[in-house]
Amino acid sequence: MESGGNYSIMERFRTHVMLCSGMNCVDSGTMKIKAAFEEELRKRGLEGEIKIVLTGCNGYCAHGPVMVVQPDNIFYQSLTVEEVPNLVEEHFLKGRPYQKLLFKEPEKKLAIPQMNEIPFFKYQVLRVLRNTKLIDPESLEEYIARDGYQAAAKALTQMTPEEIVMVVKDSGLRGRGGAGFPTGLKWELGLKIKSDVKYVICNGDEGDLGAFMDRAVMEGDPHSVIEGMIICAKATGSRQGYIYVRAEYPLATKRLRIALDQCYETGLLGKDIFGTGFDFDLKIFKGAGAFVCGEATALMRSIEGKRGMPTPKLWRSAEKGLWDKPTVLNNVETFANIPQIILKGADWYRSLGTERSGGTKVFSLTGKVRNSGLIEVPLGISLREIIYNIGGGIEGGKTFKAVQTGGPSGGCIPANLLDLEVDYESLALAGSIMGSGGMVVLDETDCMVDIAKFFLEFTQTESCGKCIPCRVGTKRMLEILDRVTSGNGKKGDIELLEELGHYIRATSLCGLGMTAPNPVLSTLRYFRNEYEAHIRDKKCPAAVCKDLITYSILEELCNGCGACKRACPADAIRGTRKTPHRIDPEICIKCGTCFDACKFKAIMKV
């Protein structure tokens, strides 16, 4: 961990149990574990010595629920209510790590107790996520104990707006929302424009599929976002700000609201902050569920209470944004980077990353990777390091096929580019984008045409309908993909997809349309043969596209347990108990339910 931090807040208790309350862990039972823990500590008379803290997302989501014992830094995974008494007995009474719940190195099965020694954590550098597994996100004091609001104090009492802008510019920080526009430049524009009213907006409308970085920051360290916004307000001369939070994130909204209330109570927001005469008001606006609202102008229309439709960029938002007033808009992760940059300086920030892309980036690593979760790494790290060193490779012993970055606006990067160094330019050159930081790992059982269709279906549905290239163009592309995946592809379809894709990219009004063809174009670039197999041979090589495959039962492997028959929603499976079953191809809807239900791998799809 980069900063040693200040643990003074923790002195009253001998030990702290940092129980992850990120979504993935909570869904696997964190709250039950907490109750069992409290009960057990009470029984053993330890409640005055050991404190349980619900922290933000730990990141190691694949093995939830997880917890870290501090200050020993011992990591426990796959917690269960039943194991809590043993854990308390071993660790807190006998004083030795409880072997059974420690992380085990997959090959030699050696236990690794220290969190920092576990490969998943070892290769990470935590700047944005430096607090998420260490503090109670609902406690202002704990944030302050980790240098919280020192940067805001420095910016407000010792720095001029020009100086703040200069530091941010020198740091090389680029917008973490996707496009990578230099943050300092944006702030400089905001500062230069003269206006009686200016706004600062935080874009927390994390709409990309397979991305949950901003959620983790808003839920796990909400004050860092607020502090970044206060500094931005000072730098650009704004007195009013909004945090736009995605509708699907109720916990993030709640945590931000608690943090805002704490700031107003203590004078960190409102009138005359730090006695400097500087005023700043901050409000939360809940989004209502529209992907296009991640686009700056659409987001502003949404705050104005309108349909979230983008407006032509005749001028920059820094000149004319929300209610036609100058507006500086950055995303959650960008703001969360700011306090550390102000405190430690531009050179410190640039000490990691590449020449053109400084600092670290948070990624959500998901899909067919063994250690899925939330990670933060220096830019310039290779995809191979991310997927194999941190991610632990592909799950189930399958072969890596591609990694999808950037969500619906991004593309798929194939195996021969695994050594690509990740930064904004290199990903763009490879036909994808950095995007907000979603990374979905795909293996040999994923059909690339299906993936492209999946994303296009999404952007097609989410297209606001304002401009024709996006509204009609994506529809036509989707029709072609539908045709291809259902075995009705024609010669020339690939060329037509390419032509349409290029036109849509060149002529759409906003980023949604301009990037919508990316998943198709990038898979065409690297996996053209799969498209050809669908069109020419009417085959889906990965056996995914349902119209091109048939399901059947291998008699020799079927023991007639009846699991498939019970699971089949179409009643297409015949057979009596303990004798091999059979699928009626006439009735089968190819939903694949039986394939998932069979424990004996007796169901074939070809």
Taking each helix axis as running N to C, give the angle between helix 213-220 and helix 332-344, from 0 to 180 degrees, rounded to the nearest 10. 60
Say which residues have a Cβ less than 8 Å from residue 35's Cβ, sequence separation at least 6. Answer: none
Expressed in angstroms, the distance from the first to the final Cα of the chain is: 49
Per-residue contact string for residues 44-73; x = within reach of other proteins by CB under 8 A: -----------------xx-x---------
Comparing CA positions, the residue from 505, 434, 443 lying closest to residue 474 is 505
Provide Rg for the chain, Cα atoms.
26
Q: Which amino acid is at 469?
A: P
- Residue among 155 and 332 whose Cβ is closer to other proteins: 332
Examine residue 597 and tell whether it contacts other proteins (CB under 8 A).
yes
Cβ atoms 539, 533 nearer than 8 A: yes
Per-residue contact string for residues 10-49; x = within reach of other proteins by CB under 8 A: -------------xx-xxx---------------------
- Residue among 63 and 344 whose Cβ is closer to other proteins: 63
Examine residue 563 and tell whether it contacts other proteins (CB under 8 A).
yes
* Separation between Cα atoms, residue 392 and residue 385, nearest integer Å: 9
Q: How far is the CB of 62 from other proteins (least distance, A)?
A: 5
Among 40, 147, 208, 221, binds other proteins (CB under 8 A): 208
Label residues 216-246 b or e (16+ Cβ within 10 Å = b).
Answer: bbbbbbbbbbbbbbbbbbbbbbbebbbbbbb
Q: How far is the CB of 355 from other proteins (least distance, A)?
A: 31
* Separation between Cα atoms, residue 296 and residue 304, nearest integer Å: 13
Q: How far is the CB of 427 from other proteins (least distance, A)?
A: 17
* Separation between Cα atoms, residue 315 and residue 41, nearest integer Å: 60
Pure H helices in 124-199: 140-145, 150-158, 161-171, 183-192
- Residue among 357 and 593 whose Cβ is closer to other proteins: 593
Comparing CA positions, the residue from 312, 282, 309 lying closest to residue 200 is 282
Among 249, 349, 400, 551, binds other proteins (CB under 8 A): 249
Q: What is the DSSP string of 61-124?
A: GGG-S-EEEETTTEEE-S--TTTHHHHIIIIIIS-S--GGGBEE-TTT--EE-BGGGSHHHHT-
Per the DSSP assignment, residues forming a β-bridge with 242 are 201, 283
Comparing CA positions, the residue from 335, 315, 313, 312 lying closest to residue 326 is 315
Examine residue 454 and tell whether it contacts other proteins (CB under 8 A).
yes
* Separation between Cα atoms, residue 225 and residue 260, nearest integer Å: 11
Among 104, 286, 483, 505, binds other proteins (CB under 8 A): 286
Q: How many residues bind other proteins (CB under 8 A)?
A: 60
Enumerate long-range contacts of 584-587, CB under 8 Å, 24 or more apart.
Answer: 585/550
Among 128, 168, 211, 603, binds other proteins (CB under 8 A): 211
What string of H, E and C letters represents the secondary structure of 263-298? HHHHCCCEEEECCCCEEEEEEEEECCCCHHHHCHHH
Examine residue 588 and tell whether it contacts other proteins (CB under 8 A).
no
- Residue among 64 and 380 whose Cβ is closer to other proteins: 64
Among 21, 132, 372, 463, binds other proteins (CB under 8 A): 372
Examine residue 245 and tell whether it contacts other proteins (CB under 8 A).
no
Examine residue 284 and tell whether it contacts other proteins (CB under 8 A).
no
- Interface stretch with other proteins, choices 80-88, 429-437, 530-538, 592-600 (CB under 8 A): 592-600
Q: How far is the CB of 543 from other proteins (least distance, A)?
A: 13
Examine residue 444 and tell whether it contacts other proteins (CB under 8 A).
no
Examine residue 328 and tell whether it contacts other proteins (CB under 8 A).
no
Say which residues have a Cβ less than 8 Å from residue 489's Cβ, sequence separation at least 6. Answer: 480, 483, 531, 534, 535, 538
Q: How far is the CB of 151 from other proteins (least distance, A)?
A: 28
Examine residue 458 and tell whether it contacts other proteins (CB under 8 A).
yes
Coarse DSSP helix, strand, coil percentages of the chain, rounded to the nearest 5 percent: 45, 15, 40
Examine residue 310 and tell whether it contacts other proteins (CB under 8 A).
no
Examine residue 206 and tell whether it contacts other proteins (CB under 8 A).
yes
- Interface stretch with other proteins, choices 130-138, 336-344, 434-442, 481-489 (CB under 8 A): 434-442
Q: How far is the CB of 78 from other proteins (least distance, A)?
A: 13
- Interface stretch with other proteins, choices 158-166, 190-198, 233-241, 449-457 (CB under 8 A): 449-457
Among 567, 575, 582, 604, binds other proteins (CB under 8 A): 567
Cβ atoms 212, 23 nearer than 8 A: yes
Among 108, 569, 586, 601, binds other proteins (CB under 8 A): 569
Could you give the 3-state DSSP secondary structure of residue 207? coil
Examine residue 308 and tell whether it contacts other proteins (CB under 8 A).
yes
Residues that bind other proteins (CB under 8 A): 23-24, 26-28, 61-62, 64, 206-212, 215, 247-249, 286-291, 302, 304-308, 364, 366-368, 372-373, 404, 407, 438, 440, 442, 446, 451, 454-455, 458, 462, 464, 563, 566-567, 569-570, 589, 591-593, 596-597
